[in-house]
Structure 1
């Protein structure tokens, strides 16, 4: 994993788990990358409902187990909607620490406009 390869001095541990309660225990930074892709014949509302289940559970686990200073980056698309769902399910965490990585595939000409 790139984070471990870079040997960042502040990086003490990387937790990979399919159990959000375990994964988010005392976590300072959470990278939410797991979202369901849109399948054949799947409408957008179906995708949103499936991802809502994932990000609701992650938001609740963050709320219950993360450190008080947690920062959350949501990458799984639709990232903005998924970040909102996770944040809404973490009522004890202010919304400001939640960020959505939007347009990661955009060409650099769009980055500074």
Structure 2
């Protein structure tokens, strides 16, 4: 809160002073809406605000690895779809004779 008085901070983030006092002085649990306001005003993680514990690097790394794998798989799917679209555009510009000839050549390589 950068040395800001609790009541000034409460007003700044849009939480009633009485409620903020209850959270601040008596350890009351904020509603989800007020928790998000406090998080936005402080920059603290919601995990820390709820538990007082700093999220571990190991836990964050596991999440990052999972997200990286998911993004890589999504990227591969997007690349495949784009390749199919591009191939369809090429086919649409070719004559039926050229397409038949190309398919015959591809059939020879696949045997």
Normalised-by-shorter TM-score class: under 0.3
Give the TM-score, by structure 1 length: 0.23
The structure number with the bigger radius of gyration is 2
More helix by share: 2
Greater strand fraction, Structure 1 or Structure 2: 1
If asked which structure has higher relative contact order (CA below 8 Å, sep 6+), I would say 1
The alignment's TM-score, normalised by the length of structure 2, stands at 0.24
